[in-house]
């Protein structure tokens, strides 16, 4: 991936980041729970890019670098992965474990509010 493509990816990410900021500012995100909206954004972007890359065949090291650098943080640790077919399964397992932990936070916060 070249710098121009990376800049386009980061620009798209910034638009989604701004939408997240608006959700938090409006109070609508707090209705869902107290979890970190940016955590979900970073996970979603990386998982989506990884899944899209998987459809093109083998995932190159350049593609993994791109996926790691587009969001604000490499939450799924894609930058540490070697370009192998097992990368997708390992990263998606990590993604779902983070989602599960986030889900526990949301349900825990909701349970506390009800008490």
User: d(Cα 18, Cα 81) in Å, to the nearest integer?
Assistant: 29
pLDDT at 113: 46
Let me know: does 89 contact 28? Beta carbons within 8 Å.
Answer: no
CB–CB of 78/68 below 8 Å?
yes
The more confidently predicted of residues 113 and 35 is: 35
Dihedrals phi, psi of 52, to nearest 5 degrees:
-65, -40
End-to-end Cα separation, the chain, in angstroms: 51
- What is the model's pTM? 0.70
Provide the pLDDT for residue 107: 45
Looking at residue 83, what is its pLDDT? 66
> Could you report the per-residue pLDDT of 6-50, keeping only the tens digit for each?
999 999 999 999 999 998 999 888 877 667 888 889 988 998 898
On the question of pLDDT at 5 being above 80, the answer is yes
Q: What is the pLDDT of residue 22?
A: 92
Query: Tokens in use for 44?
Result: 């979603």
pLDDT of residue 79: 84
Return d(Cα 89, Cα 96) in angstroms, integer: 11
The mean pLDDT value of the chain amounts to 79
**pLDDT band, residue 87 (cuts 50/70/90):** low
Q: Per-residue pLDDT averaged across 70-74, rounded?
A: 92
């Amino acid at each position: 991936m070249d710098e121009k493509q990376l800049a386009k990816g980061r620009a798209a990410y910034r638009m989604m980041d701004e939408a997240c900021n608006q959700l938090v500012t409006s109070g609508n995100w707090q209705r869902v729970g107290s979890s970190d909206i940016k955590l979900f954004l970073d996970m979603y972007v990386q998982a989506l890019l990884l899944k899209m890359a998987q459809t093109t065949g083998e995932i190159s090291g350049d593609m993994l670098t791109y996926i790691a650098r587009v969001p604000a943080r490499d939450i799924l640790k894609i930058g540490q992965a070697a370009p192998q077919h097992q990368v997708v399964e390992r990263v998606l397992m990590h993604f779902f474990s983070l989602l599960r932990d986030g889900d526990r936070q949301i349900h825990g916060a909701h349970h506390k509010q009800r008490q």
